[in-house]
Structure 1
């Protein structure tokens, strides 16, 4: 899964990578669910016969709300969507077909359970640093009062052998050569992009143990990414529940 991530470069860098205008923003070291996140969305082809879609950047709420939800207060917070089932799940089916987006990120945080009460956070970033694009889904939710809110979820896939010792899921990474195909929801159905949602190869990311400062949303400075010694694992009973079991249903 992906419960926190970061986006550190300035807007000019993002504009250069994704080819879209982006409003200036400060480095964000600890992006949490329900906060605004930057997404890159596709549009209609620039001219007849072109496969290169227009793109635009926008801020949306991290926490997907399907259009058919009647009472948001009674609906779970959907921050992730399983790539293997997104095309068939009622919550994500329409967005997977019509509203795929790219979510720029400098990396993400993941927690490894080390005992009943302890979890070791890791900062997982591209080897050599840089920016990646997570595969995402977007939905514009119309509230009962008539106002609208743009929402999004990050697609996840099975962890590769490098990440699996920390968690069994990881974000889907869309490679630059696949941006156009991913964003073209007119010409490409979900089955046409299934091949680009596979886990990245071991070595694509590097994993850095960090302190539990990242656990608090209020801690949003660069110090939360400073390396620390890994916590020693505690013996766990066979029936110990993973901390995020309730978030792996989608």
Structure 2
């Protein structure tokens, strides 16, 4: 998230009272900004009925007794979130938008290919802020303390993203913000069509260094493009001519 609070607020139709610094490497368990439908519109404001706050990136269902014994759910598969026990209640009551400037993804080829793993900085081709579809849940401990948690919904990658990874975040378009956030009149099945891969030309993928893999690295140089080394294929040894034909 590298945009200013003013820009993010305008893009998502929400008033952000507090500023925040640019963040170039947000990791699971860290705070992320989310937007939800509010209780009522603020007097004298022409903004939609929405509010923003921070949640922990890593979803914890309310019925979990000990989060330390529960896997960290940073993503939720859009294809199964409606019916899965972990996300069913959140899909019905707590759908959110998660603003971002882009995301990182790794292409991890098979060992047989001879390729190295490569990190990509994936951002909207036209710039600006995007809104991932997300879910949130407030987990309460036995002592009464509460933690707001969230996860990003993912879907099958479109053709442009598939060479890098087979999954991608669900992107909600501005014209669909209100419908996605409306958990009072829009049941999960009625917003299922929004959880589809974004159009092919929406993102551009920029190869970057493997420094993004370290949480301690947080500077803007993480998004500096790098050249991709060509794949070095093993040299083929010529077989002796045994007088027989070969198909290859």
TM-score by length of 2: 0.86
Please give the per-residue CA displacement for 1:95-138, whole angstroms capped at 9, x wherever unaligned: 00000000000001000014549420000000022110000000
- Cα 1:144–1:119 change in 2 (3 A) is farther
Q: Which residue of 2 is the match for residue 103 of structure 1?
A: 98
Q: Are 1:123 and 2:134 an aligned pair?
A: no
Where 1:68 maps in the other structure, the secondary structure is: coil
Measure the CA separation in 2 of the matches of 1:42 and 1:12.
Answer: 19
- Cα 1:54–1:234 change in 2 (3 A) is farther
Please give the per-residue CA displacement for 1:113-167, whole angstroms capped at 9, x wherever unaligned: 1454942000000002211000000000001221000000000000000000110
Measure the CA separation in 2 of the matches of 1:173 and 1:233.
Answer: 33
Q: Which of 196, 203, 206 lines up with 2:204 in the alignment?
A: 206
Report 1 or 2 for greater relative contact order, CA contacts < 8 Å, sequence distance ≥ 6: 1
Note the C-alpha offset of 1:14: 1.0
CA contact 1:121–1:210 (8 Å) conserved in 2:
yes
Please identify runs of 4+ aligned residues in structure 1 that moved more than 6 A.
none
Q: Which residue of 2 is the match for residue 29 of structure 1?
A: 24
Q: Are 1:19 and 2:17 an aligned pair?
A: no
CA contact 1:45–1:53 (8 Å) conserved in 2:
no
RMSD in angstroms over aligned alpha carbons? Answer: 1.8
Measure the CA separation in 2 of the matches of 1:14 and 1:158.
Answer: 27
Structure 1: state its 5+ residue gaps: 1-6, 236-250
Note the C-alpha offset of 1:178: 0.2
Q: Which residue of 1 is the match for residue 169 of structure 2?
A: 171
Q: Which residue of 1 is the match for residue 58 of structure 2?
A: 63
Measure the CA separation in 2 of the matches of 1:129 and 1:60.
Answer: 25
Q: Are 1:138 and 2:148 an aligned pair?
A: no
Measure the CA separation in 2 of the matches of 1:164 and 1:9.
Answer: 27
Query: Could you say which structure has the higher strand fraction?
Result: 1
TM-score by length of 1: 0.86
Q: Which entry has the higher C-alpha Rg, 1 or 2?
A: 2
CA contact 2:14–2:48 (8 Å) conserved in 1:
no
Measure the CA separation in 1 of the matches of 2:82 and 2:232.
Answer: 39
Measure the CA separation in 1 of the matches of 2:229 and 2:149.
Answer: 35
Where 1:129 maps in the other structure, the secondary structure is: coil
Number of positions where the alignment pairs a residue of Structure 1 with one of Structure 2: 225
Q: Are 1:162 and 2:156 an aligned pair?
A: no
Where 2:191 maps in the other structure, the secondary structure is: helix
CA contact 1:79–1:153 (8 Å) conserved in 2:
yes
Where 2:143 maps in the other structure, the secondary structure is: coil
Measure the CA separation in 1 of the matches of 2:138 and 2:229.
Answer: 41
